[in-house]
Structure 1
Amino acid sequence: MATSIVDDDLWERFHTAVNMTSRELRDWLATQGAGEDAEELPDRAGRPLGHRVLDVLGKRRSDLTTDDVAVMERVVTEVTALRGDEPEPTAGDTDWRHGLMNVGHDPLRET
């Protein structure tokens, strides 16, 4: 059995912070990249950290790298800084919500 470099606590905190599915996040990033100033490569539109989150979501836990762990830690830190430890669903302003959604966290979704 392969072992993981991700401890149970980080695994749980990441999957709580990232409350959008990979499909929802991919669609969101593509939507963010649509428009006059769209990326030349639509599948890479949106915030690079959001794409790294997609990479992590697409892997088995045992296949994660130290770079993936760093992404997980960064996302947990960022979402927690903006939302707190046990956030209630809240709309906030549009830029704030969209910024969170760019890393896979929809603040309107129940945890």
Structure 2
Amino acid sequence: MRYRLTFITGVAVGYVLGTRAGRERYEQLRKAAQRVARNPAVRNTAEATALSGRKAASKAFDTVSSRVGDRLPDSMASRVRSLREDRAPEDDDWGTSNT
């Protein structure tokens, strides 16, 4: 899915940059992109993806810091400890909406 979205984005950007259709066609494309961005289904999917990404990053952070933390130089180990202590709780509702 990520590659398909990247491809579509690349095609759209290439078309906008390479077209000779002018400002009118650019405005049509911009308005269509704004409609898609405002769509509640798209917004909810983006928020759910961001939430799962944060969870995966948190899990990876825990795994890497627990396995490598003892072998790091003292300066890096103290930084890892401070990041662990400053981390937000996992059940926060940052970025979620009621749409």
**Is TM > 0.5 for Structure 1 vs Structure 2?**
no
Structure number with the higher helix fraction is 2
**Higher Rg:** 2
Using structure 1 for the length normalisation, give the TM-score. Answer: 0.27
Q: Which has the higher contact order (CA 8 A, sep 6+)?
A: 1
Using structure 2 for the length normalisation, give the TM-score. Answer: 0.29
